Amino acid sequence: MMLRLATWNVNSVRLRLDQILRFVDQTRPHVLCLQEIKCQAHEFPADAFAAVGLKHLAVHGQKGWHGVALASSLPIEATPPLDICREGHARTVSARIGGLEIHNLYAPAGGDVPDPRDNPKFAHKLDFFDRLTAEMARRDPQSPLVLCGDLNIAPGAHDVWSHVQMSRVVSHTPVEVERMTRLKASLGFVDLLRQARPEPEKVFTWWSYRAADFRASNRGLRLDHIWASPGLAQGGWRAAGEVVEVHDAVRAWDRPSDHAPVTADFAI
């Protein structure tokens, strides 16, 4: 069988519930990982998700900010979220599905100044990645594991609209790229979207609200990721790396999130 996993920073699950349901109807994901849900767990619209077949939930929310959720059509075994946010924000949620370990993350954006000495938000972002890297380094690379979500870093020169200009802007600075490189190396992760669409093709998942026409300006960033452990095939899972898609048409819907969903298919 095939399992489709989707990740999407929806920028408020309740505000964009109709869009989420429309996306689910069009793409039929078995697992939907959401970031920035901006609600507490008891406020999550569980009935609406159950009505479209995603009745199994793991939600880590907080009032008005941040928050992550995992909704599945398959039974899940909830696991404790990764304890990697020093500020205590609701930024991680984890679960197991049929032996596959899934970690859904919403990394700190980091503010505007890329200097941890002058900007506590940037220092928090770097600390978040340091803790996540240390945690992943303790995992078995041969175990089936997926790490996904809004990591708020565009790592490569072709993951941003202008490498030269964005290298001075938070999300693509050298220190952030170095942190993401260390995280990827911690378990030998495979970047499924880049495996399916290799460089030098430019691939974006986020476009600013400031542009009247995001397609015309196309000043995007690839902030949303789906990574697989090298041993994903152990236990019967196999990443179908050629079936990975950025659903940028969703970004053109009425009152959209500034992020587009990304899906990846796995064969069991």
How many CB atoms are closer than 10 A to CB 112? 10
CATH number among 1.10.260.40, 3.40.630.30, 3.60.10.10, 3.40.50.150, domain 2-267: 3.60.10.10
Tell me the two tokens of residue 89.
Answer: 């924000």
pLDDT digits (tens, 9 = 90+) for 61-97: 999 999 999 999 999 998 888 999 999 999 999 999 9
Coil, strand or helix: which one is 220?
Answer: strand
Q: Helices (H), strands (E): how many in the chain?
A: 7, 14
Query: CA–CA separation, 119 vs 173, rounded Å?
Result: 14
Q: What is the pTM of this model?
A: 0.97
Domain spans of the chain, in order of start? 2-267
Query: CA–CA separation, 39 vs 60, rounded Å?
Result: 9
pLDDT digits (tens, 9 = 90+) for 163-217: 999 999 999 999 999 999 999 999 999 999 999 999 999 999 999 999 889 999 9
